[in-house]
Chain A
Amino acid sequence: MTRRISKMLIVLLLSACLTGCWDREYLKDLHLAYTAGFDLTEDGMIKETTELIIPPESEQSTTKNEVHSSVGFTPRSASDNLRTKVRGNIRFNKNGFVIIGKPLAQKGISPIMDVNFRDPSNPTSTVRLIITDTNSSDLFEPKMVGELKLGEFINDKIKSLEQMSVFFPAETVDTVFRAMMDPGQDFAVPFLSKEGDNIIAKGVALFHDEYYSGMLDYEKSVMLVLLKGKKGNNARITKRVDTETGQKDRGTITINVGRKRIKRKFDVKVNDKGEVEVDLKLNLQAVVEEYTGGRKLDEPEIKKINQDLSEMLTKDAETVLHEIQKANSDVLGVGRKLIAYHNKEWKTMNWSEDYRKVRFRPQVEVNIVDTGILQ
């Protein structure tokens, strides 16, 4: 009896074979969108610009790219409209970047991001979110930067800047999703802009909730990364420490604080009056990479420079904190600390308002531990 049943099952399975294979999607039929840009059109629709990667005709040649754009109510509907325009089936399986224009980002990015979170075939951990100064479609012109395709160029650029601690840790769709949902945490993503034919990393775009709310320039971005207690392989800061000489290239020092461990103390307290106070202590261990002061970096000199740098960087930190507070962007996650450790007080707060009232007390201490192979 069992044998007959197993035979029946085999027949069933074979019939399943014949009816076809439902979820099959051949790799060779896919057309990959590597970069996708989103903008707001004048009548409130979403304009999607994508860079498609076209597989090579023969084995040896390299891939090519095409740029197309279309309009729809949402990213998915825009993509569907795009499919009517281009050959083959566009897929976002290997999407590398979601680029959003500032005008759209100001109106909120959650409708744009939803499809990225929801569709199981969309990647999340490798997709980086980028904000552009103007409409994102500007970035797609021209489609090649030198020898590189646009997507490759942006990829290289972002990755190297991540290593230089400008955007660190990498904000992917994953982390953005997390921060967007989190009431006590905001995020900052790379901010690119187009100057002539060049794509320039201007700094980071600050977000409040899902809305773009401001930006920090390149140097402040590094400071912000350090304030988070994070760093890439390198984190360089150049300061003028010796103002005796008038020449601009004399008397500066470039330190790299990304080589050694950063000690960070981040204390969130609520005082008796219900005000939030944040003590942020950073202890940076610096390696001197360039010093044009003309003096030997002996112990007393280092001590002096340490002191100078500490003061300057503390001031920088204050500026950065002030700016993110102005942008109402809780990048450092003060709210998260409050939720976790001061839950009672948190519940009485209106964080979008009260964040601006938070009192930050940053203190940066620089310690030069290495002066390179010269003293």
Chain B
Amino acid sequence: MTSESRVTYMPATAQTSTSSLSSNVKYIEEALFNTNDLKQRTLRGPNTSGTLLYLESLVDPMLIERNIIIPFKHQEHKELDELFTTLEYEQQTDLSKGVDGLIQGSCVYFQEGKPEFYILAAPAKYDRSITEPENEGIIRGPHNGFIESLTVNLHLIRKAINASDLIVKYYTLGSTAPRRVALIYLHSLAQPETVQKVESRLESISIDSVISTGFLQENMEDNPYSIFPQHLNSERPDHVSSYLLTGKIAILLEGDPTALIVPASFFAFYQTPDDYNNRWMIASFVRIIRLISFITAFQLPAIYIATVSFHSNVLPLQLFFTVQGSLTRVPFPPLVEAMLLELIFELLREAGLRLPSRVGQTIGIVGGLVIGDAIVKAGLVSYTMIIVVALTAISSFLIPSNEMSSSMRILRFPLMIMASMFGFIGISFGLTIMFIHLCKLESFGKPYFSPLAPLKFKKLKDTFVRFPIWNLWKKPDSPGKGN
């Protein structure tokens, strides 16, 4: 509890302990509402005796035994201060601090006849092992990932970046269920203004509890009404550290394997660590493919709708007949047709997401084969529309970031409506609004759509393509004018 730079939640009002052991214990019991996992053990030594309190669900019995009980039994007229061998150790007279300590996995030792008591850390660690995150797999590169323990996660980052100016700042958020949040950045690379902005926003968060990083994210965004995600997230230490090394700031939450990375730019959501593991030509090719997916992921259905309901002139003759042939029996206007199919697709996706993988396959078969084929045979939807929607779906999965991919999926609906109202003009209207929005969006004071707007030619070398690494800049985000 000592290293927090600031406590943002409201602690229980200070309550000084008394010299009566039983009243102290009683206070604690009442403060914890007589929870059943609060255990006590009376320890008697030659000089002193007292009571050890702990929450059995949070402490490690081995640690208590080794560091508290055994030294206590073998005490040879030592002072209590020197007796306990726990790593963290604190003498207190404020009982509310004792309660805090208990719920964070410490033991509390009350002495008979003395008001001072001791908070002794013996937290249990039931962490899962460090495995590669499932949804962020890469082909080449380190295969470790964050877990639900902040300390371990910080360890992984520190291991990846052995630099003395890597700064970790702890914050505690949440008034009901406080949690630790760590802010990590490289002092020499991160821009002070950005760091300041992140800090002030973290400090201004006042919520009951932080369940996941999503809570932090929504509380810190520049523009919460924007459809675009403004925080990158990753469960990969290598990914996070590579961003740290470009001067970005990472935010980690205790109990959450996801790290938030700010400030994020639009194109960062289209990049993966694999881009740098592959050779540059292949990486560039992949990036161009992804760029195409950016266009198809949300524009293709709109373009198709606009074409078949407004501008069938643009189709060359043969294509014209092919498309017309597949459309003749469809009773709906293209917009309804597209919406229907998109809806089916979204249903299948959402259903498949929550189901165990074996059942998920069944969903795939039902969706792909049964519905896909039947819906055309029934004459509800045309083949061309199925191709369009399938292409769109595939392209939306090409986006490495799940959040961005969801945004893109939602974005295509307004665009489809515009397309069905005004044709290509409607699409260009929608795109204009979208790009204006992207231009005005800022992530922690940094332009979101950089390096395209504002345009920085040098940075484009690592945006749409990836030039050889020796050809890239030295410090990608070196402090400079950015408007």
Report A's interface with B, CB cutoff 8 A.
16-17, 21, 23-28, 30, 32, 34, 53, 55-59, 63, 93-94, 96, 121, 123, 126
A-B contact count (CB 8 A): 65
Given A27-B327, A28-B327, do A123 and B334 touch, yes or no (CB 8 Å)?
no
Contact with A along B402-442 (1 / 0, CB 8 A): 00000000000000010011110000000000000000000
B333 at the interface (CB under 8 A from A): yes
- B324 and A25 form a contact (CB under 8 A): no
Partner of B421, one of A17, A25, A96: A17
Partner of A93, one of B313, B326, B329, B417: B313
B397 at the interface (CB under 8 A from A): no
What are 17 A-B pairs with beta-carbon distances under 8 A? A21-B422, A23-B422, A24-B309, A24-B423, A25-B312, A26-B309, A26-B327, A27-B309, A27-B324, A28-B308, A28-B328, A32-B320, A55-B324, A59-B326, A94-B313, A121-B313, A123-B313
B199 to chain A, nearest CB (A): 30
- A21 and B421 form a contact (CB under 8 A): yes
B170 at the interface (CB under 8 A from A): no
Q: How far is the CA of A32 from the CA of B322 in the complex (A)?
A: 13
B310 at the interface (CB under 8 A from A): yes
Main secondary structure of the interface of B (DSSP, over half): helix
Partner of B321, one of A53, A58, A93: A53
Residues in B303-358 with C-beta less than 8 Å from chain A: 307-310, 312-313, 317, 320-321, 323-330, 333-334
Chain B residue at minimum C-beta to C-beta distance from A26: B309
What chain A residues lie within 8 Å of B27 (beta carbons)? none
Q: How far is the CA of A121 from the CA of B311 in the complex (A)?
A: 9
B276 at the interface (CB under 8 A from A): no
B375 to chain A, nearest CB (A): 13
B383 at the interface (CB under 8 A from A): yes
- A30 and B325 form a contact (CB under 8 A): no
What chain B residues lie within 8 Å of A27 (beta carbons)? 307-309, 312, 320, 323-324, 327
Report B's interface with A, CB cutoff 8 A.
307-310, 312-313, 317, 320-321, 323-330, 333-334, 383, 417, 420-423
Chain B residue at minimum C-beta to C-beta distance from A21: B421
A192 to chain B, nearest CB (A): 20
B429 to chain A, nearest CB (A): 10
- A23 and B333 form a contact (CB under 8 A): no
What chain A residues lie within 8 Å of B325 (beta carbons)? 55-56, 59, 63
A224 to chain B, nearest CB (A): 29
Instruction: Give the most central of A21, A53, A63: most B CB within 10 Å.
Output: A21
- A59 and B308 form a contact (CB under 8 A): no
What chain A residues lie within 8 Å of B334 (beta carbons)? 26
What chain A residues lie within 8 Å of B327 (beta carbons)? 26-28, 55
Q: How far is the CA of A25 from the CA of B308 in the complex (A)?
A: 8
Give me 17 other A-B pairs in contact (C-beta within 8 A), A34-B317, A55-B328 excluded.
Answer: A21-B421, A23-B423, A24-B420, A25-B312, A26-B333, A26-B334, A27-B307, A27-B308, A27-B309, A28-B330, A30-B324, A55-B324, A57-B329, A58-B329, A59-B325, A59-B326, A59-B383
Instruction: Give the most central of B308, B317, B321, B421: most A CB within 10 Å.
Output: B317
Q: How far is the CA of A23 from the CA of B313 in the complex (A)?
A: 13
What chain B residues lie within 8 Å of A93 (beta carbons)? 312-313
- A23 and B310 form a contact (CB under 8 A): yes
Chain B residue at minimum C-beta to C-beta distance from A57: B328
Given A32-B320, A53-B321, A94-B317, do A25 and B310 touch, yes or no (CB 8 Å)?
yes
A176 to chain B, nearest CB (A): 20
Q: How far is the CA of A58 from the CA of B382 in the complex (A)?
A: 11
Chain A residue at minimum C-beta to C-beta distance from B423: A23
A185 to chain B, nearest CB (A): 29
Q: How far is the CA of A94 from the CA of B320 in the complex (A)?
A: 9
What chain A residues lie within 8 Å of B417 (beta carbons)? 17
What chain B residues lie within 8 Å of A121 (beta carbons)? 313
What chain A residues lie within 8 Å of B333 (beta carbons)? 26
A100 to chain B, nearest CB (A): 21
What chain B residues lie within 8 Å of A17 (beta carbons)? 417, 421
Chain B residue at minimum C-beta to C-beta distance from A152: B317
Chain A residue at minimum C-beta to C-beta distance from B323: A27
What chain B residues lie within 8 Å of A56 (beta carbons)? 325, 328
B236 to chain A, nearest CB (A): 40
Please name the 8 residue pairs, one residue from A and one from B, whose CB atoms are nearest each other, closest first.
A28-B327, A27-B308, A27-B312, A55-B324, A55-B328, A21-B421, A56-B325, A93-B313
- A24 and B328 form a contact (CB under 8 A): no
Chain B residue at minimum C-beta to C-beta distance from A32: B320
Chain A residue at minimum C-beta to C-beta distance from B312: A27
Chain B residue at minimum C-beta to C-beta distance from A93: B313
Partner of B324, one of A23, A28, A126: A28
What chain B residues lie within 8 Å of A26 (beta carbons)? 308-309, 327, 333-334
Partner of A55, one of B308, B310, B313, B321: B321
A127 to chain B, nearest CB (A): 11
What chain A residues lie within 8 Å of B328 (beta carbons)? 28, 55-57
What chain A residues lie within 8 Å of B310 (beta carbons)? 23-25
B124 to chain A, nearest CB (A): 51
What chain A residues lie within 8 Å of B312 (beta carbons)? 25, 27, 30, 93
Q: How far is the CA of A27 from the CA of B320 in the complex (A)?
A: 9
Chain A residue at minimum C-beta to C-beta distance from B320: A94
Chain B residue at minimum C-beta to C-beta distance from A91: B312
